Amino acid sequence: MNSKHLRKGSRQPSPISKGKIRLYSNRFCPYCQRIVLVLDAKKIPYEVVNINLVSKPDWMYDKTPSGKIPALELDNGEVLYESLIIADYLDEKYHAHHLHSKDPLQKAKDQLLLRQFTKVINALLKTVSAGRVDNDEADIITEGLTTFEKELANRPGPYFSGNKPGMLDYMIWPWCERSDVLKMFGKEYILRKDKYKRLMEWRKMMMEDEAVKKSCCDVNTHIKYLQSYRAGIPDYDLLS
């Protein structure tokens, strides 16, 4: 996971071998991490090509619109993009260790929750862009966390998917992993441990998940990257 990020002028990688899949990714992109989590959780063999998002190689634009990542390249030359679409494809294609619920109703409910979580993601993106947590964004984040705290109370196990992490757990994890960066903006109170006891316990357990361990970064690494991003020189190779 620590390979250098290819940039404009970089040579295009060789075609992938028969039966292999390739993920075009970025080490600090939470949407890309979603796919890494699914691949690792399902123990699907894959190779990674990391892409510099500020200076994308020209050939990347031949793979997806606007050079969009994450992108999954199959051995027949087909390329999929959009994290949720890729995640669903992988779960349907590779039957071992299903991540979606086999109950259609529960799967639908999980997808509705994931849509709600998008509001939290957008609030966090605005926070990073503005360099501060405005009251509106703080309210959206708090409301979202409260919804998920209550939801955990109604689930049969410590995870949203029960006794082990599933698709919903992995799809929201990248932003939960990064949640402590809010302390950069003096808003630690948003993550009050006494208010979100179940979420905090869930977060602690997720940190011990084998798939999560493979791609997880500590808060100091995320803060260093975010500082470089805000300075206009994102250090994608911080871990290389």
What are the CA-CA distances from residue 65 to residues 48, 52, 80, 124, 125 (Å)?
Answer: 19, 16, 11, 25, 22
- Report which residue type is found at 121: I
Contacts of residue 169, defined as CB under 8 A and 6 or more positions apart, other chains included, come to: 159, 160, 161, 202, 206
Say which of 29, 32, 216, 217 is annotated catalytic: 29
* Distance, first Cα to last Cα, the chain: 9
Evaluate whether 120 touches 146 at the Cβ level (below 8 Å). Answer: no
Half-sphere exposure at residue 43, Cβ-oriented, CA atoms within 13 angstroms: 4
Task: Give the Cα-Cα-Cα angle 214, 2, 88 (nearest 5 degrees).
Answer: 50
Alpha-carbon gap, residue 102 to 12, rounded angstroms: 39
Other CB atoms closer than 10 Å to residue 136's CB: what's the count?
A: 10
29 is catalytic: yes
For residues 119 and 144, the answer to whether their CB atoms sit within 8 Å is yes
Q: State how far the Cα of 233 lies from the Cα of 93, in Å rounded to an integer.
A: 38
Task: At 235, list the tokens.
Answer: 């250090």
Q: At what angle do helices 104-130 and 219-230 cross, to 10 degrees?
A: 50
* Residues with a known catalytic role: 29
